[in-house]
Amino acid sequence: MADVAPILEIRDLTKVFPGVRALDHASLDLYPGEVLGLLGENGAGKSSMIKVLAGVYVPEHGTIRLRGEDFSTFDPLASQAAGISVIFQELNLVPNLSIWENIFLGRELRRPGGLIDARRARRRASELLAETGLVVDPDTLVEDLPLSQKQMVEVAKALSLDASIIIMDEPTSSLTATEVERLFEIVERLRARNVAIIFVSHRLDEVFRICDRVHILRDGRDAGTLNVRETSREEIIARMVGRDLGSLFVKESASIGETVLEAIDVSTSWGIQNVSFTLRAGEILGFAGLIGAGRTELMKAIFGIDEITSGTIKINGTEATIRGPFDAIAHGIGYVSEDRKDEGLILEMSVRHNVTLAGLGAFNPTGWISDVRENEITGRFIDDLNIRTPNQEQHVMNLSGGNQQKVVLSKWLAIKPRILILDEPTRGIDVAAKKEIHRIISDLAGEGVAIVLISSELPEILAMSDRIVVMHEGRKKGEFLRDEASQEAIMAVALQTE
């Protein structure tokens, strides 16, 4: 691309937060019609660079040039006006507004008198949704959509801006395989229209499929720009982490004991129909299936978030009544939800307060919060799980995704659960953090903790599970022992309709 001028030039970009240098003289070029992969571990500086370009953050140092001209007005509206559109990993939607209202929020289509032209906005929203492959009424409230459809609304919103630069931050993390294919078709059409795309993903298979080049950040600094056709997964990972990770999946053999959890013909109002399974001490029981298969809904019911309308739950052979999460916790059950930002953490609170949140009663039996006890517990988990934080009082919102996930895990490990439900525990985190999470899961199983692992990444399910349950449309459709399972066999069951 030496004969084409870059549409975006970043030079020596530096962004500093208290105790953290998020970007340290980082630079990159982006060309028209190019898909540039922006890679790095969580905390490498990717999100900070994106938020500078989006006008959310103001850098301390560095220059940005758009189409050869200096860009120095760091404001979200200014970025949009300059032709930059961002699809954030953490969805930027208003739940109690409709799809069409979200798509045009702040840029409402108006009639000559100034009134909002709702009819034209609905029609245009329908066209944009059709382009993403999402068949849904544009009057639908965003809060009524599943996570994957919310992600496609974000894509439609980005397309509505007619931008010349689109930044996609983990756009496929919550999409089905069909929706991923649809997104890639959109990317190809945008590329053909000379739109430049920055594509952030921890899924290297997608990077090799869709990207022309990759730019790698490590600890806020540039770690190299590589041509995708001239590099390898190993080289990319080595530049990302600065070391050889070896095998990504860490699964030690564990002694599997007696049954600790038994679900018998469980049904819920959320579409779970007569599901039965058992879980034993020291076992990792994988739950596979397409998005919407009912895996999360089943586990929310077992944890007491949703109501079980029929069926029985037994803990250690005795029937258990679980009316809510407090009952589940009392029975020794912990639950790491798939949405760590909205359901797993209180972002404005410190690492210490998040780690001790689920076990406040146990840590403070007198009813008074003991800072000494909380500091001791939090310090232990910061060390054991290698949580990268300047101190215990750091707000969780300022941590990387991988470190936020470790805080969520710490919160539940602090109550010493006998049963731990992990729903997409490695979604949206980098390869090094994934390996650490896998090590933690394996160690817990070795200590006798019974683990339910929900994952949409079949290699993870196959590598980490002792047994695998496959679900489809709220029903259990199959079960495999570790040695029997394969991606082909699981998908054949997950896709069946009878």
Q: Could you report the per-residue pLDDT of 261-277, keeping only the tens digit for each?
A: 999 999 998 889 999 99
State residue 497's pLDDT score: 46
Residue 344 resides in a domain: yes
Residues 396 and 455 in one domain: yes
Query: Which pLDDT does position 265 carry in this prediction?
Result: 97
Which conformational region is residue 459 in: left (phi greater than 0), alpha (psi within -120 to 50 degrees), or beta? alpha
User: Do 224 and 231 contact (CB within 8 A), yes or no?
Assistant: no
Q: Which residues contact 401 (CB under 8 A, 6 or more apart)?
A: 42, 89, 340, 428, 429, 430, 433
Q: Are residues 80 and 194 in the same domain?
A: yes
Q: How many domains does the chain have?
A: 2
Domain span including residue 390: 259-494
What three-state secondary structure class fits 468?
A: strand
pTM for the model: 0.63
Judgement on whether residues 47 and 93 belong to the same structural domain of the protein: yes
- Does residue 248 fall inside a structural domain? no
**pLDDT computed for residue 63 by the predictor:** 95
**Under-70 pLDDT residues of the chain:** 1-2, 19, 42, 243-248, 361-367, 496-498
| pLDDT at position 30 | 97
Residue 210 forms part of a structural domain: yes
- Residue 364, pLDDT score: 65
User: Token match 């890679």: residue?
Assistant: 39
* 111 lies in the same domain as 47: yes
* Cross-strand bridge partners of residue 285: 452, 467
Please name the amino acid found at residue 323.
R
* CA distance linking residue 425 with residue 90, whole number of Å: 16
301 and 192 in a common domain = no
User: Considering the domain boundaries, does residue 484 fall inside one?
Assistant: yes
Q: Do 95 and 230 share a domain, yes or no?
A: yes
Can you give the C-alpha Rg of the chain in angstroms? 23
Closest listed residue to residue 470, CA positions, set 312, 298, 280, 283: 298
Q: Mark whether 269 and 228 lie in a shared domain.
A: no
| Same domain, residue pair 285 and 231 | no
